[in-house]
Structure 1
Amino acid sequence: MARRLDPRPRHQQIAAELRAEIMSGALKTGEQLPSTAHLVTRFNAANATIQRALQSLKDEGFVRGHAGKGVFVRDRHPFVVKAATYKSPSPQGYSYELLKVGEVRPPNDVAAALGTPDGDLVMMRSRLLVHDGDPVELSWSYYPLHIAAGTPLAANKKIRGGAPQALADLGFPEQYFEDRISVRQPTTEEVEGLDLPADVPVFRQFRVIYSHAGQPVEASILIKGGHLYELAYQQAADA
């Protein structure tokens, strides 16, 4: 069977090649990128195409231009998310903006994860995570009403200690969780909420929190810009 050819516009293909070299360390922090003339020859592309590719990398924060000097790799370190941890409500350099709290009909995957009957409502809390003033994550967390109604989880204000503390105080401490990670193109809400550059995909992290006896008590959808994050997993050594 014939393999699919890369259908992307040429500037996206070139940006992808340079992005991969930066992420692998082949192009190091502070290093000047080859000249536009060199890139035109290397990629057999028009000058305007190279400029579009470089602009994409600038928008994503991989490189920056210095007038009269050239384009250089930025000192940019991705946010490394340890997928086996529950982020504290105010980690260093971060802050949460509470966007909305209320009773909603959950998405189908959330309803299935929580065991919510069709048509039943759940409590939803949506938040924006900000780092040094820049938006880095949108999240929607859902809770069964029999757990959340009339509790801090239903209040339109931040929770001291965060949702994990609220659940623990209600007698539903986290015992374990399951994550599903996927990558897709962002919705308009996600592009605007996270101020994403063009053509940047997002990580979609679907997390279900379980308490005693495997009872699901929270399902969350977390959206992160693919140009900002690395997800880190660690497996404990066998005893």
Structure 2
Amino acid sequence: MARSFADKRSAHQKIAATLRRKITRGDLAPGAKLPSTSVLMEEYSVAGTTVQKALLMLKDEGLLVGHPGKGVFVKGGTQHAVSPAVYMPPAAGGEPYRWITEAAKRSQRGATKLLDVGPVSPPHEVAVALGLEEGELALLRKQILLLDDEPTELTNSFYPLDLAEGTAMMDRRKIRGGTPTLLAELGYPPRAFVDEVSSEIPTEEEVVALELPKDMPVMLTFRIVYSDGDRPIEVSLLAKAAHKYRMRYRLAVT
């Protein structure tokens, strides 16, 4: 027999969760007007203050906007589906980083902000993935990816020092076409990647960098990029706001 279990969240959190799912999955489209407070009170059998708390949560998350005298409307839309594979190939000769060109295809403005560059002691799982010896350093390149000036992804990318030393990867400046392009030029083109995706409680750095609302988890991707001979050339930790994005993979079935 299944054990008894109850949702211990407050009423306004439960209502916000239901409305959030309708927005992110497209049942409430961008621009749609929400029912009035009185209608929502009756639907969920709660007081008006509870409804207002739920709507305030979604406003803070950027999913709703209120227009005085008119009502509350859906500001955000369905979650943006990110297809990692389209960002993996090196940029064509002279073209910008694929984050920027792919954004332009969607009529968005993509940009990157470089936060830090330098040798570091990598996290344990990164060192293992790169095949580093105990105490061996890796190059960290940390940046924020933006869409239409809004922070979208915080990336911590690590590279073996024997690949990075003596190259533009060591410099605190952006690389034309991104690191995949530079690595390909060095003879290490990306051939395959493995993603492990999880939902996690954000660190303070992630909350600030991504301007996350209170109690919002992040979607964390642990990515290993391989070149010829299955050599790992990059390991990244990629954090996105969990309520705004979803991952899309298309894989052949053999």
Q: Specify the TM-score bucket, using the shorter chain as the normaliser.
A: over 0.9
Q: Quick check: 44-53 or 140-149, which moved more? A: 44-53
1:95-114 equivalence runs, <5 A: 95-114=111-130
Q: Flag structure 2 segments of 5+ consecutive residues without an equivalent.
A: 89-97
CA distance in 1, matches of 2:51, 2:175: 48
Deviation of the 1:100 alpha carbon: 0.1
Q: Quick check: 39-48 or 209-218, which moved more? A: 39-48
Go from structure 1 to structure 2 and tell me whether the alpha carbon gap of 1:157 and 1:61 turns closer, same or farther (over 3 Å shift): same
CA deviations on 1:13-71 (whole Å, 9 max, x unpaired) are 11001111223333333322111112122222222221111011112222211101211
Q: Give the TM-score normalised by the residue count of structure 1.
A: 0.93
- Partner residue, 1:203: 219
- Partner residue, 2:31: 30
CA deviations on 1:138-159 (whole Å, 9 max, x unpaired) are 0000001111112111111111
- Partner residue, 1:141: 157
SS, match of residue 100 in structure 2: coil
SS, match of residue 125 in structure 1: strand
CA contact (8 A) 2:41 2:51 kept: yes
Q: Is 1:17 the equivalent of 2:18? A: yes
SS, match of residue 66 in structure 2: strand
- Partner residue, 1:228: 244
- Partner residue, 1:185: 201
Deviation of the 1:89 alpha carbon: 4.8
CA contact (8 A) 1:61 1:76 kept: no
> Aligned letter for 1:12?
Q
CA distance in 2, matches of 1:5, 1:11: 16
Q: Flag structure 1 segments of 5+ consecutive residues without an equivalent.
A: none
CA contact (8 A) 1:202 1:223 kept: yes
Identity over aligned pairs, percent: 44
CA contact (8 A) 2:29 2:78 kept: no
CA distance in 2, matches of 1:26, 1:151: 49
- Partner residue, 1:74: 75
Aligned length: 238
Go from structure 1 to structure 2 and tell me whether the alpha carbon gap of 1:23 and 1:2 turns closer, same or farther (over 3 Å shift): same
Could you list the structure 1 runs, at least 4 aligned residues long, displaced by more than 3 angstroms after superposition.
none
CA distance in 1, matches of 2:62, 2:232: 38
- Partner residue, 2:91: none
CA distance in 2, matches of 1:228, 1:8: 22
